Structure 1
Amino acid sequence: MAPKPPTAVTRPPISDSSLVYVPEDVVEGYQERIETGIDWTLIELGAQHHRRKAINREAIPTITFSDGLINKINRGYLKGFLDDTSCINLDQQWEQILPATLWDNEKFATDEGKILFNGINCLTDDLIKLIYKAVVTGNRDTLWSELKMAEVLRVNNEKITELDVGLLEFKKLVSLNLCGNYIMDIEPNFIPPTLRALELQANHISNINSFVESLPHHLIYIGLAKNLLTDESVDAFSRLPFNLTVLDLSDNDIYHLDPLLDALVRLPNLTSLYLVGNPCSVCATYARLILMVLPRLKWLDSRQVLPTDRSLEPYEAHPDDLRSSYFYFTVFRVMSAPQPPKPEKGATTAFHVELELPLLDVERRKFLLYRRYESLTEILAPPEEEEVEKAISTVLRPSTKALSTIKGIDVDEASSNASNVYDHLVTKSSRVINNFTTFESNKIQWAKVMNFQEPTVKIFCPDLFALRNTFRSVITVNLVYSIVYAKSGKTEKKSSHALKMPTEQRVVLASIKCTLRNPDWTQPSQHFHWDDSLGTDEAIHWGDRDLAVIQYTQAPVKVVKGKPEADPATSSRQLPPENLTCHFGFGIETIRAS
């Protein structure tokens, strides 16, 4: 029997997609308007600050490698041992000053302070041993000599803008860390020939053409993450040293995967590659294509490549799968929400989850191509009679608790799980015009465990920058309870005194912030847990664990005789929690090996 032909895949057109289309009459500055009002993660805010420095290079003073080295030494405990003008000798520094400094940091510094202290004093490995050799000889020059024979050197976060001849004084240097500086280019003559590992993460490098061919031939690691690399710098990667085994290009702006792989395929010893955080890393066929083109690759984005990750048969990626993907948001479950009171006759109640995804919102983008960000929400002027109606409505529609009192019913008896949160319903205003989309789940009735349609939100994303940047933001998810009242009858409509009652009221039971991370090609989505006992609106990232597989039941969990009781934290079947609890997932479409 002949094999069945592959199922045809229907793909939305990309060229005319609203997320990438830019009309000719667009108002200048639209990209800035689109990215205004985004709740960026702290990591992204720091990265944006660093990138703005690169744009305004004129404001950055020139600091050479030698200047940065001295600055780092002067900020750490090494300074006292190298200062010829100090009135404290080496023995006093070793026996009194250094122990007191280390003890003070260990006992009294905050966690952030300890990180800062260790960062300043990490100039090389075994720094204490180098200091001890100088103390034994009683000669400060010995410490300088020993330091310049070090194999590892870290001069990071010192605002260095360029290298100089001082770097060549380190004759045995094997590993050089220059992360977190302002280096835009590297003078080839100042690269030590003994280097095997070069870390240049978080600098201002936009192209490596000027120094790629001057890198030592036995270099096996180069880190270029968090720089300004784009598709224009891709060709130069093919000229990296032949022996290179680890290449870190993560968190740059490389968009097209095909030309990048054409360059990397010329590195025969490459076994570890980092591309996460680039726009190309969120395309649908990202991992599958890389693992086919680079068969020697053992690690991709810190994840070990398993035999099952590779396709057994040749795979040819569809061009659209290299330029787009789908964004998914899933509500796995909402549990133990307070039970609402019984609604009035004719009214219907429901729960739903809603969120805004501004960078993936077509309506918002179309609006901001021409209009100011401040105009996203517009409020129409109220009719003259609205204020009167509002006052009368407040009198005639008392709170749930008041209605229960009138009817002689104790609200606590009506629902033991009800919360006074339902006494704060707000009328949905028809005067508010939002020029953006609020993405909503399906609406369901209350239950101890509420399950929603999966995926809750699915968005086609032909703009890989917008998709990548969405995972650099904080998404707020709202759990909403709403009540819709029956419309007035014909008799009531004819009366001139008929009151226009609110058609819908709602209350937000929980507003939850999910700090997204870069997608992981080995996982379909990243999961978040939140419950009201946390005392914060920030959800917990669930790491590599899978919230979707957990099953909850209101029936007692049976324990098999003779077997130990399952741990509730790891058991796939457990009782619902008593606290209001929400489980969410955010992910992208990934074409996996078959």
Structure 2
Amino acid sequence: MPPKVKEAVPKKPPPPVIRPPISESSLVHVPDDAVEGYQERLEKGIEWTLIEKAAKHHNELSSRPGIRTRTFAVALQNKINQSILSGFLNQESDITLEQQWELLPITLWDNEKFANEEAKICFENRNNITNDLIKLIKKAVKSGDSEVLKRELKLISILRVNDAQMTEIDESLLEYKNVVSLSLCGNFLSNLNGQLIPTGVKTLELQFNRMSNLEAFVEYLPTELLYLGLARNLLTNEFIEPLARLPYQITVLDLSDNDIYHLVPLLNTLAMLPNLQALLLVGNPCAVCHGYARTTLMRLPLLKWLDSRQIMATDRSEEPFEPHPDDLRAAFFTFTVFRIMSAPQPPKPEKGAVTTFHVELELPLLDATRRKFLLFRNHESLVEMLPPPEDGDWDDVKMPSAILNSKIVLDPEQSSHESDIYKNLTTKNSREILHYTIFETNKVQWNKVINFQEPAVKIFCPDLTALRDTFRTVITLRLIYSVTVTGKQGKPDKKSSHSMKPSSEHRVTLATIKCALRQPDWSQPSQHFHWDDSLGTNDAIHWGDGDLSVLQYSQAPVKVTKGKQDTDVGPSSRQLPPDNLTCHFGFGIETLRA
């Protein structure tokens, strides 16, 4: 009797995705009647990361009016004059090459042993024109002729003229015929003539410049070019079409941290590059949309690396996939509180009062109401007060007796130091609108290990530029303890038919934490941060690629399996919570997975 063949069980259709409606008038669109200078007001008070501050500073320098023209030849000479080469190439110096050579170790020693980190970075930047500068100098010293050093510089294969305020390249660059790797990062370049780049260049780095229109630039690039770096320029969807005409051999393309908003037109352009294996798009608005990674991997099947992450077989979907249009123009920002541990136990509340803990999150760039407010209104502050209540006896700034009563009972196990912070309660003014920027988690009761729902905050973001910029900021978190007293029905009086004591909330901030965010990684659900009060700072520690969510804590003694030592206990095993206040957070965006 033949064996029975199992019938294929039909797969259950995936549950429908709930997508909030997206207005056809994009939030990125700026109407004609917008208030002048609204963009500066929008970013006022935003704390940017150190990298973003540096980028904004460079952008201000390069866009200021009246910048003087500085060619490649002038920029390179200035770099040489600031480097250790200057003494060996100075024809007017009375010091011989041998004497300069004897002084060189002192210069290197002073920089290595006595310079601070900032000075060391500056020294390295001034002397990174090429590799093995000491070797070139030594060869000239042996010959006793500085002309040898000049000739050797023209034969180098690696040339860097970075941070030199260069505005254009000239024909002097063609004198470096052996250059294979050319770096012109951190300059003011906006239009480049590809004919002035040595034909043997295979690596061309132009990060942190002013490149926008690539039409003329791509026509005469070296045919053997393998790597092109255009990160932190001014590229938008308007001028991406020339990318399809990059050299046939191009293998690595870095477009990160530009302003490319629409993903599909870009991918259609990049699909014309037959040898493209590595692509960097992180830091563009299109790279934070819901369907970014899955759509990119589908449209570019030969890609092996995306945003410095190797693409695994599990990252690609075997089934045909067509993204929903909304998945390419919106995303969800998620904030997760993995746990808060060892918060001081609060005093026992008076009858009728409820004590809770929650986390406040400031995200000014993600609030559409605030953006519209600043777009059209010429108001100095976003803090507004509602009209005063009709009931003049309602004074909501007074604490109820339940809070000021000196008979508050403390847990006898808590020290007086731990409980002192709870004596600093202030009244929350429920009639005040604070910046439209505060997002709150759910409120939970005290525990040695406090857990919140996941995600604690989830925000729909149809403005991809605002979402991208949020990951360039330093987010402020506050751990709040609050006491809520519910309103009670009082006895009627002569003036009114009834009397009501209003509900009131009183709170204290247990911790204020700063998290310097990084651009999201499509292969990681979120970026994790650790903070505890023993660090002595408000700055949280970025946890790298580590996963804080797998850690488990228990108030019971940790049991070690027989035959295993304490050091054999894995990271996911339960452990006792720390004695000091500790917080674990995560930030990310929801992405479509394969």
Matches within 5 A, 1:539-578: 539-566=540-567, 570-578=571-579
**Match of 1:511?**
512
**Match of 1:61?**
68
Could you give the per-residue CA deviations for residues 182-229 of structure 1, whole angstroms, max 9, x where no partner exists? 011112331111111111000011121112010010010110000001
**Contact 1:330–1:584, Cα closer than 8 Å, also in 2:** yes
**Contact 2:442–2:453, Cα closer than 8 Å, also in 1:** yes
Shift in CA distance, 300/493, structure 1 to aligned 2, threshold 3 Å: farther
Distance 1:385 1:313 in 2: 65
**Match of 1:15?**
23
Shift in CA distance, 317/351, structure 1 to aligned 2, threshold 3 Å: same
**Match of 1:428?**
428
Shift in CA distance, 506/568, structure 1 to aligned 2, threshold 3 Å: farther
Shift in CA distance, 509/245, structure 1 to aligned 2, threshold 3 Å: same
**Contact 1:547–1:583, Cα closer than 8 Å, also in 2:** yes
Distance 2:411 2:12 in 1: 62
SS of the residue aligned with 1:548? helix
Shift in CA distance, 484/565, structure 1 to aligned 2, threshold 3 Å: same
**Match of 2:467?**
467
Query: What amino acid does structure 2 have at the position aligned with 1:542?
Result: W
2:375 aligned with 1:369, yes or no? yes
Matches within 5 A, 1:295-334: 295-334=301-340
Gaps of at least 5 residues in structure 2 are: 1-7
Distance 1:39 1:589 in 2: 24
Among residues 91, 101, 104, which one is paired with 1:94 in the alignment? 101
Query: What amino acid does structure 1 have at the position aligned with 2:84?
Result: Y
**Match of 2:3?**
none
**Contact 2:394–2:502, Cα closer than 8 Å, also in 1:** no
Among residues 101, 124, 134, which one is paired with 1:128 in the alignment? 134
Distance 1:34 1:162 in 2: 34
Shift in CA distance, 493/544, structure 1 to aligned 2, threshold 3 Å: farther
How far off is 1:101 after superposition? 0.3
Among residues 34, 39, 53, which one is paired with 2:42 in the alignment? 34
Distance 1:180 1:470 in 2: 24
Distance 2:136 2:58 in 1: 34
Distance 1:287 1:78 in 2: 46
Matches within 5 A, 1:339-418: 339-372=345-378, 374-379=380-385, 399=404, 402-404=406-408, 411=410, 413=412, 415-416=414-415, 418=418
Distance 2:383 2:540 in 1: 27
Distance 1:67 1:23 in 2: 43
Shift in CA distance, 482/380, structure 1 to aligned 2, threshold 3 Å: same
Distance 2:71 2:28 in 1: 42
**Match of 1:108?**
114
How far off is 1:565 after superposition? 1.7
**Contact 1:377–1:433, Cα closer than 8 Å, also in 2:** yes
SS of the residue aligned with 1:566? helix
How far off is 1:35 after superposition? 2.6
**Contact 1:511–1:537, Cα closer than 8 Å, also in 2:** yes
How far off is 1:155 after superposition? 0.6
**Contact 1:33–1:372, Cα closer than 8 Å, also in 2:** no
Could you give the per-residue CA deviations for residues 27-52 of structure 1, whole angstroms, max 9, x where no partner exists? 44444433322222121122122223
Query: What amino acid does structure 2 have at the position aligned with 1:403?
Result: K
How far off is 1:263 after superposition? 1.2
Could you give the per-residue CA deviations for residues 67-109 of structure 1, whole angstroms, max 9, x where no partner exists? 11111111111111111111111111112x1000000011101
Shift in CA distance, 72/295, structure 1 to aligned 2, threshold 3 Å: same
How far off is 1:320 after superposition? 1.4
Distance 1:165 1:513 in 2: 49
Shift in CA distance, 243/14, structure 1 to aligned 2, threshold 3 Å: same
Shift in CA distance, 568/178, structure 1 to aligned 2, threshold 3 Å: farther
Could you give the per-residue CA deviations for residues 260-318 of structure 1, whole angstroms, max 9, x where no partner exists? 11111111111111110001100111111111222221111111111111111222112
**Match of 1:181?**
187
Normalised by the length of structure 1, the TM-score is: 0.92
Misfit runs of 4+, over 6 Å? 21-24, 381-391, 492-496, 498-502
2:268 aligned with 1:267, yes or no? no
Distance 1:536 1:492 in 2: 53
Q: CA RMSD of the aligned region, Å?
A: 2.6
How far off is 1:387 after superposition? 11
Distance 1:285 1:235 in 2: 22
Query: What amino acid does structure 2 have at the position aligned with 1:507?
Result: V
Could you give the per-residue CA deviations for residues 47-74 of structure 1, whole angstroms, max 9, x where no partner exists? 1222234443x32111111111111111
**What is the aligned-residue identity percentage?**
60
Could you give the per-residue CA deviations for residues 339-389 of structure 1, whole angstroms, max 9, x where no partner exists? 000111211111111112111112222322322352200246878998996
Distance 1:493 1:456 in 2: 44
Distance 1:205 1:179 in 2: 11
Distance 1:414 1:561 in 2: 34
Distance 2:481 2:493 in 1: 28
**Contact 1:19–1:461, Cα closer than 8 Å, also in 2:** no
Query: What amino acid does structure 1 have at the position aligned with 2:166?
Result: I
Could you give the per-residue CA deviations for residues 220-249 of structure 1, whole angstroms, max 9, x where no partner exists? 011000000110121010000000111010
**Match of 1:523?**
524
Shift in CA distance, 502/71, structure 1 to aligned 2, threshold 3 Å: same
